[in-house]
Each structure stands twice: as C-alpha cells, then as structure tokens.
Amino acid sequence: MSSLEEPLGFDKLPSMNTIDRIQRFSSGACRPREDNVGMGSCWIEERLCSTSNSWNENYKGCGRDTFPWVRHTRDFSQGDMLNRRTLSLGRNHMILENGCDSWYSTEDQYNLKHSDEDKPGITNKYFKGIPNYVKIVEVGPRDGLQNEKNIVPTATKIELIHRLVSCGLPVVEATSFVSPKWVPQLADAKDVMQAVRSLEGAQMPVLTPNLKGFEAAVAAGAKEVAVFASASESFSKSNINCSIEESLARYRAVTRAAKELSIPVRGYVSCVVGCPVEGAIPPSRVAYVAKELYDMGCFEISLGDTIGVGTPGTVVPMLEAVMAFVPVERLAVHFHDTYGQSLPNILVSLQMGIGTVDSSVAGLGGCPYAKGASGNVATEDVVYLLNGLGVKTNVDLAKLIKAGDFISSQLGRPSGSKTAVALSRVTADASKI
C-alpha cells in the first residue's frame, strides 16, 4: 500500500476521552420536549445574536428560516452544548439550524478576528478556539466545474453564480483565466466575467496563472484575482509546467501589477499534505511557499489538500508550521473529500483559529492534474456543520441546497452533498406525515 492509500500521521491525532465524547454528542443528549413531539408539530424559535462577529458588528436577529417547518438555535450560555429542541420523526431526532442574516462592510471583509471572550458560558476547551464567524469561499463555478468532461454552457455557469450570490455567500470564485488548451472547460472565462462583474453582494475573484492571465482578467472586469503555487515540485511541473521557484517569480510579477491597480490577490498552495507523485509533503515546505506568497502581498493564503489524503493528524502539524510565518487570520483551508476527511479537517482547523473555509456547492470538483482527487467538500455540508457549532456564516442553507440541486440537474447527476441528500429525504418523509 502506497503512502497515499492510507491515512498519514495517525499517531499524531489529538487525544479525546472516548466516554466524554459519547456522552456529549450521543443522540441521547438531545431529548424533545413533550409539547413538541407529535405528528405534524411545528415551531419557530427566534434567535438573538449578541456576540460580535468577524466584521465587528452586532447581529440583531435571524430573519430567514432555513426550512419552513423547523428552526433551532444554539445558546452557549445554557451550559449544555446540545440542550436544544429537536424534531421527532419516528425514532430519529434531527436538529436544523440557520445562521444570522446580516450584511457587513466590504472594507472589513478580510479582518477575521475572534475572541473566546465573545462567547460567554463556553467552558468546553474543544470549542474555545472556534471563530464566531466563518467566511465561506465558494469555489464551485471554477474549481467545481473545471474537471467536468462535458462542456457546461456559459449561461448555466452565469445562472449558478447568480444563485450562489443570492444565498448570502460572501465570496464566489467565478472562473479562471488559463489557457483553453489546458482547461477547455473554462474557455469562456471572459464571457462569464463580463456577465457577472456588476453583480453586487459578493466578491468574485478569478484565478490567474501569470501576468497575461491577469491582464485578461482585468480587461474582463475582474476586481480580485488569485494565484496558485504548489508545495510539491512534481505537481507544480505537471499543473503549471514550471518549478516552485519559477511559479513564485511569475506571481511576484502578478502581485506587483495588481498592487498598482489596487486589486487584491489571494494565494493558493496546493498539495499541502500529500502529492500523487511525491507522497507526503513536509510541513516546512508548505510553510515556505505560504510565506513567500504572503510576503509578496497576497492578502489571504488558502491551504489546499488537493488529493484529499489529509487527516487531523497531518493537518495540525501543517497548520502549525504555516502559522509560524503567516498570521492565522490570513489563512484559509481548502479540503477535498477523497477519503471522507474534509469535515474533521475543517473542524480541527477551526479549533486552531482558522476563520475562512473554501468549499464547493454540491461537492463539485476535482483536479485535472491530480489523479484520483475527488470533489471539494460540499458547501452545504460545511454550512450545516457551522450551524451546528453556532458559528455565523450569513448563508441561507435552503437557498444553497436549491442552487446545488440546480447545477446537479444540469450535470445530470445527484448532489454530492450528504446534507442536501439527507434533508431532501427528510422533507419528503415529512410531507407524507
């Protein structure tokens, strides 16, 4: 068995008392109140969010219901992490939550701060480091569609972006200005960007591999761009046809040009845990590439487990190495779900203070240069996780699921989101009651 066919660094997994974990998170910890149990019982429970979020604003309340028949919220001050009402469907108990709906100042959007003092009543050490607000960067229109075998119509991509922005997502990566020879699926980048550049409500960065791509993106109306380097020499050569150092030289030219035009640049680092050719990647190499991108002016560095081999045992040391050189508030995580480890990896990243998560609606994605890499973690699943943690996202889960259903139907396959699939079944079952 190769190093990429088994979890890496399992011996480094953080320990946790098994009995405590079972008692705290078992279904027995959630008991419905007698007045809420029964056929067809519905209720709506309003929520006041008084804690400050990453944008240093106070959220006054939640305005939209995730689902018309149930709304639940989390109150940390009650002590019991799972002391919430549940909806009884037969023998199963389900908790559905919705984040708060509020807008924020775009000029503060990259100031991701959090404090344990903002969360009164939290005593559980496993939740103290988690930010109050998490920014979700939706990569479905670009990273999600770039590996599709059949060309997705431009109109479909534009419609998808509109739907995603309407969900409340603060960042939607629109497309990539790469050579159509290498990524034919994104040959319509100019048309897509010109169609959505005036769309309000979200930032819409585009990927630019070099100065030529940057110039084309700006001409099409892009107001934010991203560059991508690799922590693996082999992957760098196969993906962008140059060494790590050569790629960094290219991006210095891009960041200089962007600075002159006051255009923000985001940096990606791929293969931060493992490479399909080289195997395990040393955390020190990831830290080096991340630091170079940060030093050249990238406002945020997204750390990508491109082939999805990471576990918390390998993600933690990688993040520790990077955080020694790049401030945690400038870091994001980007996980593929090849081994089903995305959500555990996201959770441990949140516990370490990461406040930005990349994800793809309906779990779309894959990398044309990383054999075996499955889709990104589904945005619906990330939002469901964050709702369950009481973390604000400003994302309407119901609308998000509809957006995932839309693109999945266009691609002719079911959604890759477990949350979307499960909730569609629950809704169908509830309609029969």
Say if residues 286 and 318 touch (Cβ distance below 8 Å).
yes
> Which residue matches tokens 């949350």?
419
For the chain, the first-to-last Cα distance in angstroms comes to 49
Cα separation, 233 vs 430, in Å, equals 52
Say if residues 377 and 338 touch (Cβ distance below 8 Å).
no
Catalytic residue IDs? 367
Closest CA to 161 of 420, 361, 422: 361
Phi/psi at 254 (5° precision): -65, -45
Tokens linked to 276: 């399909």
- Residue 301, strand partner residues: 267, 331
**Which residue type, as a one-letter code, is found at position 152?**
V
Cα separation, 57 vs 122, in Å, equals 21
Tokens linked to 228: 């991508």
Say if residues 361 and 164 touch (Cβ distance below 8 Å).
yes
Say if residues 45 and 32 touch (Cβ distance below 8 Å).
no
